[in-house]
Amino acid sequence: MTTGTIRQERRADGVVTLWLDNPAMRNALNDAMIDALIASLRDLGRDPSCRAIVLRGVGGIFCAGRELNNLLQLQGADAETIAATYQVLRELNEAVYYCGKPTISVLERYALGAGAALATWSDLAIAAEDTLLGYPEVKVGLPPSQTTVSLIRGVPRKIAMDLLLTARNIRAEEALRIGLVSRVAPKGGIDALLEEMLGELLRASPEALARTKQVVWKVEDADYHSAVATAVDCICTAITTREAREGISAFVEKRQPDWAQARKA
């Protein structure tokens, strides 16, 4: 019987938390949860009332990977079924990475396999100091496929190979040092750190945040000359927007910008 679900919690300020809710499996992802995450991320990415998306696990555990029962079911499957299953995982990768809203993964206790991948695909990742991160796939006879793509672009090759080939777990402080997470919270401080980061995001222009993400996506896939051209095109368009006008005026007038009013103007 399939267990586990994705619960959505929306705040008045536009922050939406997607809770990974599969405590019997330490919030490991199953096929149904992956489908639900994809749908939620796509919908929220288009939702103008959503300002930021938080990925978090219930019970103080982020995500211990994939449910291996789902993978065992593929052992006797045909090639088409196997390809379709991993295509869905690719869709999750892209739904997180190319989401139009800032995404934050909140890592507690375990971020292993697919859990570590979610953190890597997210824009930002914060971790409690006792969190364990790792890529255990080779220990069960599998290569960490899509995980490798993001990891090798985020950390030096020797570090990536160490993590992927040895499958060792690392603590949050080491993850911070090598660039796998954005910030680390002391014991009991993860909620305060999350609110600090959300406060910083909510003070920014929603349109500017979206355009910044677009520039990053394009720059990562471009050569240097194309990347610079992309950046120039972006700022030339952005400088004429209502939110840019409001942000610059607010700075000159020494007041907080009113992004909601700017969008209505």
- Nearest residue to 238 via CA among 215, 261, 220, 265: 215
The residue from 202, 226, 245 where one domain ends is 202
Virtual torsion, Cα 218, 262, 50, 116, nearest 10 deg? 40
Give how far the C-alpha of residue 192 lies from the chain's centroid of Cα atoms, to the nearest Å.
Answer: 19
Whether 177 contacts 205, CB under 8 Å: no
Whether 37 contacts 95, CB under 8 Å: yes
If asked whether residues 52 and 107 sit together in one domain, one would say: yes
Segments of the chain with pLDDT less than 50: 1
Residue 11: phi and psi, rounded to 5, are -100, 160
pLDDT at 171: 97
Give how far the C-alpha of residue 176 lies from the chain's centroid of Cα atoms, to the nearest Å.
Answer: 16
Whole-angstrom distance, CA of residue 124 vs CA of residue 40 = 18
If asked whether residues 225 and 179 sit together in one domain, one would say: no
pLDDT at 83: 77
If asked whether residues 253 and 165 sit together in one domain, one would say: no
Q: Domain range spanning residue 227?
A: 206-264
If asked whether residues 173 and 217 sit together in one domain, one would say: no
pLDDT at 231: 67
The residue from 166, 185, 202 where one domain ends is 202
If asked whether residues 168 and 233 sit together in one domain, one would say: no
The total of structural domains in the chain comes to 2
pLDDT at 240: 75
Residues labelled as active-site residues: 137
If asked whether residues 241 and 137 sit together in one domain, one would say: no
The residue from 178, 202, 226 where one domain ends is 202
pLDDT at 237: 75
pLDDT at 3: 80
Return the CATH number at 115. 3.90.226.10
If asked whether residues 99 and 183 sit together in one domain, one would say: yes
pTM over 0.85: yes
In this structure, the strands spanning 110-112 and 103-107 are unpaired
- Report pLDDT digits (tens) over 245-254: 887 788 778 8
pLDDT at 126: 98
If asked whether residues 49 and 131 sit together in one domain, one would say: yes
Whole-angstrom distance, CA of residue 168 vs CA of residue 165 = 8
Whole-angstrom distance, CA of residue 240 vs CA of residue 146 = 38
Q: Is the dihedral of CA 153, 32, 115, 205 positive or negative?
A: positive
If asked whether residues 169 and 249 sit together in one domain, one would say: no
Return the CATH number at 244. 1.10.12.10
Whole-angstrom distance, CA of residue 41 vs CA of residue 232 = 29
Q: Which residues pair with 15 in a beta bridge?
A: 52
